[in-house]
Amino acid sequence: MLCGIDEAGRGCLAGPLVVAGCVLENSIEGLNDSKVLSEKQREILYEKIVQNTKYKIVQFSNEDVDKKGLSACLKEAILAIKNHFNNCEILMDGNTNFGVSGIKTLIKADAKIAEVSAASILAKVTRDRFMVEMDKLYPKYQFAKHKGYGSSLHISLIKKYGTSPIQRLSFKIKSLNQPTLF
């Protein structure tokens, strides 16, 4: 059996990092990289995935990402998924396994391999749903629109209101003249 792994929220300025692992029990039509699907398509596929797979979703808050670092959070998530699916071959989207042995990687696996596509959709929909909830708590930041990514809208709202309580403070924004490591 193959377990696919993908993440959502890796490059966001706000909100959680979500990593999903997924093993298909039945084939699902229409799977693809979550980024190329519409929100409506993702939501429909999400329900089919939940009903037709075994999966594990691991989340790290913005505070976790700030405290541990993005790579450490990803490694921890991969290990948790690997331990959960210990009888499976594991394939992760991308070109690095973050030092976890026994994990194969493939660039664009989320568009090529059904299990990774399913994991991509699980991670993206889980994260997007969280950000819509955060929009209700912090409406002036419009998280339902940009989902915490570094869009011009999001950056303009940070300029106007300052950082939100779910902002990743370790992520520096050059256009705000925040000091960076480089």
What are the tens digits of pLDDT across the range 61-83?
A: 999 999 999 999 999 999 999 99
Q: How far is residue 76's CA from residue 53's CA, in Å, rounded to a whole number?
A: 22
| Residue 117 lies in domain | 2-176
Longest dimension (CA), the chain: 50
> Would residue 151 count as lying in a domain?
yes
Report residue 14 as tokens.
């706000």
Instruction: Report the CATH number at residue 160.
Output: 3.30.420.10
Tell me the C-alpha distance between 11 and 34, whole Å. 15
Per-residue model confidence as pLDDT tens digits over 1-45: 999 999 999 999 999 999 999 999 999 999 999 999 999 999 999
123 occurs within a structural domain: yes
Whether residue 173 has pLDDT greater than 90:
no
**Does 32 map to a domain?**
yes
Query: What SS3 state is found at 53?
Result: strand
Mean pLDDT of the chain: 94
Percentage of the chain with pLDDT > 70?
Answer: 95
Number of domains forming the structure of the chain: 1
Per-residue pLDDT, 75: 98
Within-domain flag for 182: no
Confidence of residue 130 (pLDDT cuts 50, 70, 90): very high
pLDDT given at position 50 = 98
CA 143 to chain centre: 15
Residue 55 in this model has a pLDDT that exceeds 80: yes
d(CA 78, CA 8): 13
pLDDT band per the 50, 70, 90 thresholds, residue 175:
low
Contact 75, 100 (CB under 8 A): yes
Q: Note the pLDDT of residue 181.
A: 45
